Chain A
Amino acid sequence: MTVDSSIPIDAPGGGLHTRLFASRRILLGSVILLAIILAALATLPMTLGHRSSLYYNSQDAAHVRQRPCLTRPFGTDSLGRSLLGRCLLGGAISLAVGTAAALIAIILGVSIGLIAGYHGGWLDALLMRSVDVLYGLPYILLVILFKMAFQEPLARLISPNAANLIVLFSAIGLVSWLTMARVVRGQVLSLRAQPFIEAARAAGLPQTRIFLRHILPNLVGPVIVYATLTIPQAILQESFLSFLGIGIQKPMPTWGDLASDGLLALNPLTAYWWMLLFPCTLLAVTLLSLNFLGDGLRDVLDPRQDAAKL
């Protein structure tokens, strides 16, 4: 009898095979992502510049809903605006939404997870039960309520567009930190029980030093992984808000907003397919590479992580 080699039997702990596959995913994900980010950022002066042909809001009644051609590679939308320019600026804003959400998730999630895990006792119980309660609410309710509650007051203080962006960023960020807090707390709990922390304490190191030099660096891996996985979720949440019509303020574009506009242009009689295809492809490719990157990083940085905590 020959052993069937198609059942992979690796050394315990995943082995080189997993890591190689993971690193290839990381490479692929980060290269594509970098290309898209660079393209979106490098063209910002053009997409925001009034005189450029790529300006996101330059309407042209003579060229409404034009098919993609050499002069207008992505075609035009129903107001004759260059879809390429709108896709590029939309990408920059979508990625900014994702990044802001990830940053808020890191700041809130890490500090609350750290405090809960390190302090323990009643504070831990209080914080974690609050996280449980927030998990028990449908997140979309929180996002919409937050947005409706703070949009108008803030718009009175600063310009409406800036208020819209800030509230959008924070509303999505504020629902994204829960998983991060749980992961960080679990990690801190397991770190705290390890001998090197005990040794540091026995050596008489002050609390803050143990905190900053011994616990925080060990959290970097899982935090990066979950931050990477937060970005695609935040971008999707923004697209859902745009679908509801309470996302970004028009005429500012995001990929989600462009996709829901493109959907409206899609009907069985005349298919303006480019208005749906380009934003959706960009969105899907970006989210795919972010997910690839996050999954790959998790395999490499965080092999012991309980998959159930996804």
Chain B
Amino acid sequence: MRSRGLFAYVALALGLVFLYVPIVSMIVFSFNYSRLVTVWDAAHSPTLKWYGALAHNGQILAAAWLSIRIALIAATVAVVLGTLAGTALARFGAYRGRLLLAGMSTAPIVMPEVITGLSLLLLFVSLQQLIGWPKGVGAVTITLAHITFCMAYVTIVVQSRLAGFDESLEEAAMDLGARPFKVFWRITLPLILPAVASGWLLAFTLSWDDLVITQFVAGPGSSTLPMVIFSKVRFGVTPDVNALATILVLLVASGIAISTVWMRRREQRRARDERLAAAANL
């Protein structure tokens, strides 16, 4: 028993090292002076010169801004659609068409991205031939594609959260005469809000990060940040990408830390309220 436990913990420690060494090395070398990214120039390092170069790189800044706008819209629409789908799958029983929706909600998660990207582009091209819309590919088609693959993740997060607690609260509200929409707004939504929030974050990250699908449905003049990074790193390492990566890692890490604290606070407040309510009933 002991030895196996030990083996598992050693494996865990090594695994975590494996997960973090590349990220740490990227951060370290972002402060390296030398253009030869991985040869440490002890005489001039550490330096912030690549961060300075980044601030003046109009191409990267424009791409980042486009990516943020697309991710904001895609995540928001995907959360609405995914919450609808998750609610239907978890609450409507075995209605006709459930199997279809369930299948189309899980398939995008494992579908190889090249296939999703190709199929979406061919759809947009066909639509343009048929009805003259969308006019060419660009930010609009990228956003539509991102909504589609992001909503699958939101659906699963919301569905499993809804499956996690029973329907008695909603039924009680119905018995007291609340209309379905009001029940959803006042009872269901507050209960699944943590799932909806993490679904939004997940969708935002996936959209912000996507390269392969985006490449298919992007046009000239609509280069997202991953597309710019990919075209830079395809031919080797470049120091300013290390600086960019460092900034992104720090942003994500602090974002996750903040949202974790926020959710924990919220759960604690709810637990306290419940205790107070229970005490008041005594």
Do they bind each other?
A: no
Residues of B within 8 A of A (CB): none
Residues of A within 8 A of B (CB): none
